[in-house]
Structure 1
Amino acid sequence: MERARRLANRALLRRLLAAAGSTTSPAPSRGISTLAPAAAGGKQRPRARGAHQYAQGRQVSASALQPSDTFPRRHNSATPAEQAAMASACGFNTVDALIDATVPSAIRAPTMHFAGKFDEGFTESQMIDHMQRLASMNKAYKSFIGMGYYNTHVPAVILRNLMENPAWYTQYTPYQAEIAQGRLESLLNYQTMIADLTGLPMSNASLLDEATAAAEAMAMCNGIVRGKKKTFLIASNCHPQTIDVCQTRADGFDIKVVVADAKDFDYSSGDVCGVLVQYPGTEGEVLDYAEFVKDAHAHGVKVVMATDLLALTSLRPPGEIGADIAVGSAQRFGVPMGYGGPHAAFLATSQEYKRLMPGRIIGVSVDSTGKPALRMAMQTREQHIRRDKATSNICTAQALLANMAAMYAVYHGPAGLKAIADRVHGLAGTFAHGLKKLGTVTVQDLPYFDTVKVTCPDARAIAKEAVKNEMNLRVVDANTASFTAESLASEVSSSIPSSLARESPYLTHPIFNMYHTEHELLRYLHKLQSKDLSLCHSMIPLGSCTMKLNATVEMMPVTYPNFANLHPFAPTDQAAGYHEMFDDLGDLLCKITGFDSFSLQPNAGAAGEYAGLMVIRAYHNSRGDHHRDVCIIPVSAHGTNPASAAMVGMKIVAVGTDSKGNINIEELRKAAEANKDNLAALMVTYPSTHGVYEEGIDEICRIIHDNGGQVYMDGANMNAQVGLTSPGFIGADVCHLNLHKTFCIPHGGGGPGMGPIGVKKHLAPFLPSHPVIPTGGFPLPEKTDPLGTIAAAPWGSALILPISYTYIAMMGSQGLTDASKIAILNANYMAKRLEKHYPVLFRGVNGTVAHEFIIDLRGFKATAGIEPEDVAKRLMDYGFHAPTMSWPVPGTLMIEPTESESKAELDRFCDALISIREEIAEIESGKADALNNVLKGAPHPPQLLMSDTWTKPYSREYAAFPAAWLRGAKFWPTTGRVDNVYGDRNLICTLQQASQVAEEAAAATA
């Protein structure tokens, strides 16, 4: 009887689970074609049999049992009713009719489907469970491997209030300085920290990683001598990944890299432009480079030092030794290892080389009232402005991580950092002393900071035993049986000789000496964030930059300890969760793009461009076509393309566009045929940066292939392709993806980002590898002939890949397709609303735009004396960040709403632009003064509005509150309009210099 009862209960349970089965499976996403019946007003789905609501006496529909935490309806903001209304406003009966009129039928791909668990998409709770499972598969052992990556503690106040705070990670690059003063101050802190610790007067506001920073320094050395000396020497004690990245980069610049012991460097050829040494070395040794530097300088050779910031609190800094350039990583200043990144790297030098410096530089200027204000200096060096002349990835930065490292220094101060350094050095010393007492091994006699080299007969066996005890050691050379280890023990006397000990002060500015308690740092962080506009406040409609929702569930895994605390060179079996994610993400990206293999190594969009072109170069070289070096680039391609082509040594042939903004196909055909014997590639952006789907893109690809070239498609606008078409379907051979654009990695105030590249099968063998842990594509091709190494870590900035992975996994194939459709719908809706007030510059053949569009402001210069900058600054008074300004067409604004903004927000932004157009009309009609008007006076910060005197011909109230919604919530610009020219003519990029400017300004206004 008991057994029968249990069987009956099980049967009943099975029936109940069958009736409610939809509660445990992902629900269909809300979008264009999969509407929930209540919202769509359509026919109900079939009811779940056996599910009754007895209390009300009616059955419960299956839809009522669907999970409530499905993700697409949270990401794709427009409701079905709003979608229908917006499509109607654009002149179409349905959204799909609008899409059919916009995306050329010749390139429409079949419906996109993912296999198995990813097709319908995880719910948010399922995704959390899935990522926790992957995290549990990783083993965050203690890693004593070193090589530029170190265990560090992220102070909780920085973790919670900066790294996990959308007010910091959803900011855009600070091109609009007046609404970015907070993070600009933090980045100025970072530059000051780097300058102080390296002993060099000028630093950038971060680069991608130490290895690429060293490669940039190599390019600087070559640029200083105007390319007349083509040899670069690298000391063999540099990190292996740094050596490989430099060798790969040198290939494109036709630089000869020679790796040797520094004491054996030979300058007799007269062809050496620079040298690179590691300080401390990769095996821990601290060498005195004073005489070495003097010798190099005597031969006209520049010296680059790769160094460690924590060590420089104890060691003589490179600037005092005489080095010309210092590079390195700020990772150990409170940024988790993250299996390789993202981390802020640095490059410091003298002002003599400021025009050759890579990266973004924060400088001090003055605003319209004469008060000090911060801005990005020397923006004319950016790739999208200098194009092929900008032979550096200077658009790349890691601002969010630079801010973390800067705050780490602010929190600890000079004394706190020195205490940490002393402890680290003391632990290493105790470890070395203990081994010497054992007497069974040989400990290296050279001075060290934190890494001890030990020679012993059974190093591999010791390393294996250490793994059993959850510790990773580095086996340097199996033949000599030695390993390095960074130890944890008690303090001992210093290994550093007095000749190498630092005596000069650092971090003396009050900023680094006043926020050492948590509540003070908390207040400082919030003070700065209050000065910055982010997605927390309003939409940021930047064309080609795609500032959209970075959902909290996507961000959560980034700070899981078992994702955050892995060393990138740990044994791969300790990163099983990461590698399952890599495999799945590579497969998903292949399905999305129509490619056969993906490399996850490039850690920025520009790095992806460079990597993709290097793959093409390697492919041609493998076929004996070394002469193929011509790259055709339309003027409508993404702005970074020409610089990337120059970096791989390609000759650029530009082709124009027609009156509608499309590539001039006949001009392109002539260029391809004229260069058919040497054609390497075409670089094309699709949809174009003019915001249209070009009808002839498939023909363009055929022309390039027929003339022996490969098609490189820039992935900047991939968010207008997903689910509708794909680069592989169109005919491209390689494409990089800006994961921070299409796939939701946040912008972080200018970084982080990732730029993986997808390739067709014939290019897969050439994907980048790594000298420490060999890599390749996902899936890995049978044959490999890698182009070299692109980034310092094997899988680039692996820690932020979970963001894109979770976004794709939760959206599912239908949710992603809907996202593309809604992005196109939103852009067309806004264009339709604005076309009566501003000319829309380019449209497709059926009168529609893609996911972004350009409005033309050029006529206002003649009619009202108004420039795009005036409109951009006035938008700040309305609480908005300006769209992309004067690019790709001077005198215009490029607007991209994305799919994650609601109709209400789109309307609010349109209302602001329409109101500004009315303000321009008042100038045109003579009602407002042509020189002294609300646009020329914008933005209007509180200190200006509340001053004792007001001489403007318009009211304070109208300056501050031009729209009704501002009464309820107002984001205030914190400074008047910043003088860009003054800032470049008087370049100031450290806190000490900034303080002098502030004192002078105060004296002038006293």
Structure 2
Amino acid sequence: MNKVYFQEKFEERHIGPSTDETAEMLGALGLESLDQLMDETVPAQIRTNASLRLPDAWSETAYLQRMRTIAERNRVFKSYIGQGYYDVILPSVIQRNVLENPGWYTQYTPYQAEIAQGRLQALLNFQTAVIDLTGMEIANASLLDEATAAAEAMFMQYGLRKNKAADTYFVSENIFPQTLDVLRTRAHSYGIKLLVGDVQQVPDTDVIFGVLVQYPAGDGSVTDYKGLVDQLHGRNISVCAVADLLSLTLLAAPGEWGADVVVGSTQRFGIPMGFGGPHAAYFATKDAYKRNIPGRIIGVTVDASGEYALRMALQTREQHIRRDKASSNICTAQALLAIMAGFYAAYHGPEGLKRIAERIHGLANLLDGALQHLGYTQYNGTYFDTLRVELGELAGPLRAEALNNEINLHYDGTIAGIAIDETTTYKDIEALVRVFAKLKGKTLDEADLAARAERIVPAIPEAVQRTSDYLTHPVFNSYHSEHEMLRYIKSLEAKDLSLCHSMIPLGSCTMKLNATTEMVPLTWPEFGNIHPFAPTDQVGGYMQLIGELDTWLSEITGLTKVSFQPNSGAQGEYAGLMVIRAYHESRGDTHRNVVLIPASAHGTNPASASMAGMNVVVVKCDERGNIDVDDLRAKAEAHAADLAALMVTYPSTHGVFEEPIIEICEIIHRNGGQVYMDGANMNAQVGFTNPGFIGADVCHLNLHKTFCIPHGGGGPGMGPIGVAAHLVPFLPNHQVVPVSGTDGISAVSAAPWGSASILVISHAYIAMMGAKGLANATRYAILNANYIKTRLESHYPVLYAGANGRCAHELILDCRAFKAVGIEVGDIAKRLMDYGFHAPTVSFPVAGTLMVEPTESESKAELDRFCDAMVAIREEIAAVEQGLADRADNLLKGAPHTVAAVSADTWDRPYPRSQAAFPLPFVRSHKFWPTVGRVNDSQGDRMLICACPPISDYETAEA
């Protein structure tokens, strides 16, 4: 091509190995070309042999220009819709240094605590803020959204009920409709009966096990629930409160009036609406229920030196271990958003948060008085931020006039709901009053409004006014200047290893490049400041983006249509199974409830099947890790009358393209079932094969894996599902904004399109890569994995491979033999920290192994550094095997080595300090220091502390 027409390709920035490195890697594999590698790796019978029908790749500059035109189709009106979503002010110091900082958004879930202390502390701050504001004893480190958190509370209350015959959950009729929608979905799958009504009139029957109320209520009114809760407790009925966290700076904490569980959203703590997400939900309850609480809990413990340390507590509750016995199928929290919310609470502190809440309430009060003065009826006698104004025959004209002034209200028949938020100003109140005055043929009396502002009378009854302290810990009272907050954020960031430092070779998790250009539009107000229930004609940009992404992902998966509502991978699994269930029910096959799941499957698969109310039957795997087709056939035929689905991961969880996959799908279909494909390993399929071609009916996609949404330290994620044509009518619908047909299942997440704002990331990735770039990404993901296999298989046995000895995009290193000399796979994980690497996936899917996935984004140089580290660790193990190193006191058992330990005045270990800290030359020039020694997990579980230490501990330390 003439150089005049040359345009730089984004794929050359995304894919790690250079042309020369590619040749060297292929040479190491004994191959001539990437095509030869693909022929040896991907079975011919599953190859589509057709290029993806996608638009030509855009350059980064051109894409951002195009995205600007898309963004401009979103009209950012002033939103007073409320209903669980509010405009906010995200402090710039948090936006720039957390949300826009890859040092925070490219981290992995903090399973390796020693190199995640900063993130763990930030999440502990979040938990502490939730505990303080709700008045509860324990909180988790976030859930997906408010509605699904309420559903998780219902499950917990159901599991804890004293009367096991009780099967009815009473839900206040005055809750947000999206919450009720999700409750209906979850209740249906478990056989729980929902009874919706006036909570002051809960029927006197022993079949009710729990009650859910909203505080403030869905219409904005504030009720004193103490007497009701006392009465319900007397009947052995537990109570969940869905509470607005910001309002709890002024309202009595639910824990103070007896709630057993408190859930809600922390969106108001500086997180943009983003057309529905992502936002961090919270879940708080009593300490007695700590073994039942869903999601993750950050706990305080000590390290090997007895120093303060943090880690994820009670990890054995995770679904990867408990599988179909899991208490929840939540694998993706909203860690990044929880971290931001925690920093927001620390930046403002208790007084700052209270001022924000008082200002919101004061402006609502001012508007209330002005509207009543104009002759309008306002129904809420008590409220925090929301008014309900009767419009009567003025309903139509008022809506039109509001839109003319770029104002969105919430309309319920002839009633207008107005929710005041943090961004509302006195000028905004003037604008609202003008609109309402005009409909009455009047004008704004500025003097009267100003006078009313001087005599605000709170509309919160004394009985529910907060009198207790909150956020008393030093962390919420020390960083109120931007300089101090900046330093605090950076001090925590420095304690965490992320993709900024080195590759994170986690099998199944696909920690690939999250390109800066993909992230840029995320913070544009045209995407961030849009309410999920905004009128359709105001969200043309989002509709275009979602429509294009639907078309592209349908093409990539070979399926017909995609639902973006599921906001995590596990949520996608659950949604897919519920769609399959609805399909069977529509055909009268209500008895089909058996799901076949291979023994090698992701732990979320059986957990999701259980949550969908289905029975799990495990299918054997052979000695090569493949599905035992004979066992699958026998079980499919044995359960043919009740077979609902097969859940299969492809390539397999063992990192192999199983050749009989098409036959496997046909067996399921012959026996009346549907095929659900777990899309966790889609990074090895794109451009070469697809679920639809193979025979799958449903596939969820982890956009935070294959399609480049960052992991964010354990969330956000997205798990949209693609379905074949016959399942399209059953895709998730939404009570507020219909997004599916009348046969669609009820909602699985709070927002119509899930965490819509982060869809811009995957949209950018596909648009800039194009069909050829995406196919090359698959080629290089497989090349990189096989290069590591070639370099390491003489040092560590590789468990599984395909027919030609190739792995797919990941591989499993067998470390079980080292137990003979006392070395556990966890010791290797900790020692890797000294080399500056996060460990591969530990003991999954096979105990005592490491599952490695390098992705296409890593260069040969980085792959070599990782392989050099693994080879060096193998030599350290060999020293133990040969008796040259002590079995109990060696480099692996002593890892990780902190700067405090290495620089101490005394050193009593039987190996040199230099070998502990700088085991290879490259480490010395690029050292990442773990900030704590090996964390004591068992002590933390025995003495679970999930909040910041109390002030008394600080006072003792100072004394």
User: TM (normalized to structure 1)?
Assistant: 0.91
Give the conservation status (yes or no) of the 8 Å contact 2:251–2:464.
yes
Number of the residue aligned with 1:257: 194
Deviation, 1:114, is 2.4
Q: Aligned match of 1:964 in 916, 921, 926? A: 921
Number of the residue aligned with 1:634: 598
For structure 2, the residue ranges without an aligned partner over 5 or more in a row are 427-452
Give the conservation status (yes or no) of the 8 Å contact 1:222–1:228.
no
Q: Aligned match of 1:221 in 150, 157, 167? A: 157
1:193 aligns with 2:157: no
Give the conservation status (yes or no) of the 8 Å contact 2:569–2:700.
yes
Q: Aligned match of 2:469 in 491, 494, 505? A: 505
Q: Aligned match of 1:910 in 860, 864, 867? A: 867
1:534 aligns with 2:498: yes
1:427 aligns with 2:367: no
Q: Aligned match of 2:44 in 73, 84, 105? A: 105
Give the conservation status (yes or no) of the 8 Å contact 1:934–1:959.
yes
Give the conservation status (yes or no) of the 8 Å contact 2:388–2:415.
no
Q: Residue type matched to 1:415 in 2?
A: E
Structure 1 stretch displaced more, 75-84 or 522-531: 75-84
Give the conservation status (yes or no) of the 8 Å contact 1:334–1:408.
yes
For 1:240 and 1:950, how far apart are their aligned partners in 2? 63
Deviation, 1:93, is 1.8
Give the conservation status (yes or no) of the 8 Å contact 1:424–1:488.
no
Number of the residue aligned with 1:413: 349
* CA deviation string 1:594-639 (max 9, x = no partner): 0001101000000000000000000000000000000000011122
Give the conservation status (yes or no) of the 8 Å contact 1:886–1:892.
yes
Number of the residue aligned with 2:797: 839
Deviation, 1:483, is 3.4
Give the conservation status (yes or no) of the 8 Å contact 1:460–1:481.
no
Give the conservation status (yes or no) of the 8 Å contact 2:292–2:327.
no
Q: Residue type matched to 2:385 in 1?
A: D
1:885 aligns with 2:859: no
Q: Aligned match of 1:945 in 878, 885, 902? A: 902
Q: Aligned match of 2:390 in 443, 448, 455? A: 455
Q: Residue type matched to 1:295 in 2?
A: Q
Number of the residue aligned with 2:179: 242
Number of the residue aligned with 2:757: 799
Number of the residue aligned with 2:140: 204
After superposition, the Cα gap between the structure-2 partners of 1:125 and 1:482, relative to the gap in structure 1 and judged at 3 Å, is closer
Number of the residue aligned with 1:750: 714
Number of the residue aligned with 1:868: 825
1:608 aligns with 2:572: yes
- Partner SS for 2:589: coil
- Partner SS for 1:687: coil
- Partner SS for 1:915: helix
For 1:753 and 1:999, how far apart are their aligned partners in 2? 40
After superposition, the Cα gap between the structure-2 partners of 1:481 and 1:418, relative to the gap in structure 1 and judged at 3 Å, is closer
Give the conservation status (yes or no) of the 8 Å contact 1:372–1:997.
no
Q: Aligned match of 1:515 in 463, 479, 483? A: 479
Deviation, 1:84, is 2.3
Deviation, 1:998, is 8.1
Number of the residue aligned with 1:655: 619
Q: Aligned match of 2:881 in 924, 941, 946? A: 924
1:66 aligns with 2:3: no
For 2:928 and 2:50, how far apart are their aligned partners in 1? 43
Matched positions, count: 927
* CA deviation string 1:755-794 (max 9, x = no partner): 0000000000000011111013xxxxxx541111011000
Deviation, 1:714, is 0.2
Q: Residue type matched to 1:78 in 2?
A: P
Q: Aligned match of 1:987 in 934, 944, 947? A: 944
Q: Residue type matched to 1:174 in 2?
A: P
Q: Aligned match of 1:698 in 656, 662, 681? A: 662
After superposition, the Cα gap between the structure-2 partners of 1:997 and 1:902, relative to the gap in structure 1 and judged at 3 Å, is farther
- Partner SS for 1:364: strand
Deviation, 1:64, is 5.0
Q: Residue type matched to 2:709 in 1?
A: I
1:895 aligns with 2:825: no
Aligned CA RMSD, in angstroms, stands at 1.4
Give the conservation status (yes or no) of the 8 Å contact 1:201–1:349.
yes
Number of the residue aligned with 1:322: 258
For structure 1, the residue ranges without an aligned partner over 5 or more in a row are 1-44, 46-61, 777-782
Q: Residue type matched to 1:456 in 2?
A: L
* CA deviation string 1:67-87 (max 9, x = no partner): 23x200000111122222212
Q: Aligned match of 1:543 in 507, 510, 534? A: 507
Q: Aligned match of 2:379 in 444, 449, 460? A: 444
Structure 1 stretch displaced more, 102-111 or 522-531: 102-111
For 2:926 and 2:21, how far apart are their aligned partners in 1? 25
Give the conservation status (yes or no) of the 8 Å contact 2:345–2:353.
yes
Q: Residue type matched to 2:260 in 1?
A: D
1:365 aligns with 2:301: yes
Matches within 5 A, 1:380-779: 380-439=316-375, 441-457=376-392, 458-476=394-412, 478=413, 480-486=414-420, 488-489=425-426, 490=453, 492-776=456-740
Q: Aligned match of 2:18 in 79, 84, 87? A: 79
Deviation, 1:945, is 1.1
For 1:460 and 1:257, how far apart are their aligned partners in 2? 35
Q: Aligned match of 1:92 in 19, 23, 31? A: 31
Give the conservation status (yes or no) of the 8 Å contact 2:220–2:380.
no
Q: Aligned match of 1:266 in 189, 200, 203? A: 203
For 1:267 and 1:365, how far apart are their aligned partners in 2? 46
- Partner SS for 1:137: coil
Number of the residue aligned with 1:233: 170
Deviation, 1:461, is 2.3
For 1:485 and 1:537, how far apart are their aligned partners in 2? 44
Q: Residue type matched to 1:66 in 2?
A: F
Give the conservation status (yes or no) of the 8 Å contact 2:330–2:571.
no
Deviation, 1:481, is 3.9
Number of the residue aligned with 1:824: 782
| Identity in percent | 59
- Detail structure 1 runs of 4+ shifted over 4 Å in the superposition: 995-1000
For 2:419 and 2:16, how far apart are their aligned partners in 1? 52
For 1:961 and 1:84, how far apart are their aligned partners in 2? 31
Deviation, 1:996, is 6.8
Q: Aligned match of 1:177 in 108, 113, 132? A: 113
- Partner SS for 1:355: coil
Q: Aligned match of 2:84 in 125, 148, 152? A: 148
For 2:926 and 2:690, how far apart are their aligned partners in 1? 41
Give the conservation status (yes or no) of the 8 Å contact 1:877–1:939.
yes
Deviation, 1:267, is 3.4
User: TM (normalized to structure 2)?
Assistant: 0.95
- Partner SS for 1:568: coil
For 2:271 and 2:110, how far apart are their aligned partners in 1? 22
